[in-house]
Amino acid sequence: MRNFFLTIGTVALAASFTAQAAETIYVGGSGGSTEKLFKEQIIPAFEAKTGAKVVYVPGNSTDILAKLQAQKGNQEISVALIDDGPMYQAIGQGLCAKVENTGSIKEIYPNARMVGDKSVGIGFISTGLAYNKEVFAKNGWKAPTSWMDLTDPKYKDKVVIPPITNGYGLLTLVMMSKLNGGSEANMESGFEVMIKKVAPNVLAWEPSPGKMSQMLQTGEGALAVWGNGRVQAVIDQGAPVEFVYPKEGAVVIMVAGCVVEGAPQSKLGQQFLQHVVSAESQGQIAQGVAWGPVNKNTQLSPELAKKVVFGPEKVGALISPNYDIINVKRAEWTNRWNRAVER
């Protein structure tokens, strides 16, 4: 009889493990190098640890947000990994569940915690300036140091900025406002500076990362607004380009993660989010796609640490935009930008 109960217990335990192994979660995130990194390093380690299966669904942030909106009440994606602007929209629309404050979540920087604890950052990206060192040397120009350098007439037809719909253009507008007596709540000064002083210097409002990279490499675009990770990829190709953290501060674009409200496998979703922000995963992410680690315990080589947003000093100096205001005003600003700035 004892052997019978042992056998029953063993079968039940095996069935439990089999059920867990059969669990599948869907994770929505960026394609390209990010998808490659997650599929080759982040996901296999999680699958080995939990016995679960992860299906990665690639798409840009707005596409994934649209999926969550369309599937509300019948979600398929368990974890969303998107930029902080769209993530604030997702939180506001009740699409994100509360993040469990346990394990590696306790190890992240305070500014990687999003308002309401419905999402956390999984990587820091700095928005600042990039310049072609050869073009600057040829013209006898000193390296740029300030956001306001974009207004200097000597850079006429040498500045490249992505459009407002890209995000980098939007953050340029926000900084022009902040540095000229305005704020997200009062963008008049920002628009005035963009229209009268920045736009005359702009060669192209370039949305394509590939074209942007090419223009910086060739020197056709000598000064640009871009993210440190994008710029680092250009540098790694051997181009004479450098990223600058402006003296007024670089603006953070935080890639963020949330467990989707009402999604299947929410427990596994919480575990996956913990896995992504663990010190080990954050080191792999920094190496693979140059996002700055959000986990304070992440260790990086000195060489890699110079290439990403790393350490309390750099993280603490990041400027965080007010997306509660931005997301309400985004459509209005975009219409005005298209009429008056990008003509």
CB 95 within 8 A of CB 72: yes
Q: What is the pLDDT of residue 19?
A: 41
Q: What is the pLDDT of residue 2?
A: 46
CB 270 within 8 A of CB 264: no
Q: What is the pLDDT of residue 22?
A: 59
pLDDT tens for each residue of 124-171 = 999 999 999 999 999 999 999 999 999 999 999 999 999 998 889 999
pTM: 0.83
Q: What is the pLDDT of residue 115?
A: 74
Q: What is the pLDDT of residue 28?
A: 97
Q: Which residues of the chain are under the pLDDT cut of 50?
A: 1-21
Q: What is the pLDDT of residue 343?
A: 77
Q: How far apart are CA 142 and CA 158, in angstroms?
A: 15
Q: What is the pLDDT of residue 5?
A: 40
CA 15 to chain centre: 40
pLDDT tens for each residue of 159-208 = 999 999 888 999 999 999 999 999 999 999 999 999 999 999 999 999 88
